[in-house]
Amino acid sequence: GREVVLYFGDAAYYKGYDLFLQFISENPLTCGVHPGRSYDDQQKSYFAYDVDQLRARLLQEGRLYETNTYVHTQSLKELFFNAIRVYITFHRLALSSSTVIQAAEFGKPVLVPDRGLLAYRARWYSIGRVYKYGDLAQLRIISEELWSDDLSEFTDHVRHFWLRFSDAAISRFFSSKLIN
């Protein structure tokens, strides 16, 4: 009965792993799923929140599931992305994110920080919404608005965005470069 928040990939400072855990912790109607490898001591030293304490509490509450391993198959990616309705990123480095493209592959709108390429793509292609960078209170408000919506306004935009990254589009790109 909780809204699933997906953190996809390795636990890292630049991807906001600690922000993900804090967000789940502050929002009892959510649970977190983290398919990917855990953090090391170097990453842990960068985090703004005590990830060990957050993880322990969320695991005890049954509100966090982590695989602690690299996701290497398409079927597993599909399984995890199909568990969510909106893909939220917690990125501190917002230049790009392959997970936003993966979310689009599975037809999921995004909610991303209001900076960098992530925000540009969300706004320009109308594939989701943005929240003020690092503002977990605003993230909560906007995510709850999205979760209470039917999200159909994003369907065609997300599909169109994904076509830019499909196997056929990549093949056309490389074919045109090799031929010319």
pLDDT tens digits for range 34-62: 999 999 999 999 999 999 999 999 999 99
pLDDT tens digits for range 30-41: 999 999 999 999
47-52: list long-range contacts, CB under 8 Å, 24+ apart: 47/13, 47/17, 47/18, 48/18, 48/19, 49/18, 49/19, 49/21, 49/22, 51/11, 51/17, 51/18, 51/21
What's the pLDDT at 40?
A: 96
What's the pLDDT at 31?
A: 98
